């Protein structure tokens, strides 16, 4: 783990079949203890076969109340359609100065981009499979590479930025948020 910051005790919400565990444990290798939760008993059984989680629980995250808080919480594509108070519950599970990483196809009910910004999340509109990220606080455009194609996309988005801000279109759809 030299040179890598440890993610510490990690909670993988909606762990499903265990893809996040594969990435965290096999590729990054910087997790001290990994807990997975999912509402599907079938998915948990399949995730158990990977033997990568230290704990697995069949539970709705809204009813999950572990004894210890987590250093890092990851919720990838699982909070859409849930009420906004689910996010409040998730935030209560992370240690002070811990990290939360969210990938959201749509925001939880009753939560807006502005709400997330007020709660100190960094929030990005995810475009072109992550090759383009737009900071929804500053509207700064980040590119995965400096290819001619992506620079052309950035130019178009820059020209359209006032219209995009005014319509709020960038605040709808897939976003990445973390704190």
Q: Where are the alpha helices (DSSP H) in 63-103?
A: 85-92
Q: Domain tally for the chain?
A: 1
Radius of gyration of the CA atoms of the chain, in A: 18
Below-70 pLDDT ranges, the chain: 1-4
Q: Tell me whether residue 147 is in a domain.
A: no
Label the pairing between strands 8-13 and 31-38: parallel
Q: Can you name the residues that pair with 127 across neighbouring β-strands?
A: 132
The CATH number of the domain holding residue 53 is 3.40.50.150
Q: What range defines the domain where residue 106 resides? A: 8-111
Q: Tell me whether residue 12 is in a domain.
A: yes
Q: Tell me whether residue 43 is in a domain.
A: yes
Identify the DSSP state of 130. Answer: G
Q: Cβ–Cβ contacts within 10 Å for residue 28, how many?
A: 13
Asked if residue 81 lies in contact with residue 106, where contact means CB atoms within 8 angstroms, the answer is yes
Given this model, what pLDDT does residue 174 score? 87
Distance of CA 158 to the CA centre of its chain: 26
Q: Tell me whether residue 118 is in a domain.
A: no
Q: Tell me whether residue 136 is in a domain.
A: no
Given this model, what pLDDT does residue 1 score? 41
pTM: 0.87
Q: Tell me whether residue 163 is in a domain.
A: no
Given this model, what pLDDT does residue 3 score? 55
Q: If you search the block for the tokens 């565990």, which residue do you land on?
A: 21
Q: Tell me whether residue 49 is in a domain.
A: yes
Given this model, what pLDDT does residue 109 score? 86
Asked if residue 171 lies in contact with residue 112, where contact means CB atoms within 8 angstroms, the answer is yes
Q: Which pLDDT tens digit goes with each residue over 85-136?
A: 999 999 999 999 999 999 998 888 889 999 999 999 999 998 888 899 999 9
Asked if residue 87 lies in contact with residue 111, where contact means CB atoms within 8 angstroms, the answer is yes
> How far is the C-alpha of 68 from the C-alpha of 55, rounded, in Å?
13
Q: Tell me whether residue 133 is in a domain.
A: no
């Amino acid at each position: 783990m030299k040179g890598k910051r440890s993610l510490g005790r990690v909670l993988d919400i909606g762990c499903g079949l265990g893809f996040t565990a594969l990435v965290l444990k096999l590729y990054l290798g910087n997790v001290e203890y990994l807990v997975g939760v999912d509402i599907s008993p079938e998915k948990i059984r399949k995730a158990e076969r990977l033997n990568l989680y230290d704990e697995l629980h069949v539970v709705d995250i809204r009813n999950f109340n572990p004894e210890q808080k987590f250093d890092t919480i990851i919720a990838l594509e699982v909070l859409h359609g849930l009420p906004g108070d689910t996010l409040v519950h998730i935030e209560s599970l992370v240690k002070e100065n811990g990290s939360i990483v969210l990938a959201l196809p749509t925001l939880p009910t009753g939560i807006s981009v502005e709400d997330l910004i007020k709660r100190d999340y960094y929030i990005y509109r995810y475009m072109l499979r992550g090759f383009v990220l737009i900071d929804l606080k500053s509207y700064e455009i980040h590119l995965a590479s400096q290819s001619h194609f992506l620079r052309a996309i950035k130019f178009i988005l820059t020209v359209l930025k006032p219209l995009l801000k005014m319509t709020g279109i960038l605040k709808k759809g897939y976003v990445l948020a973390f704190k």
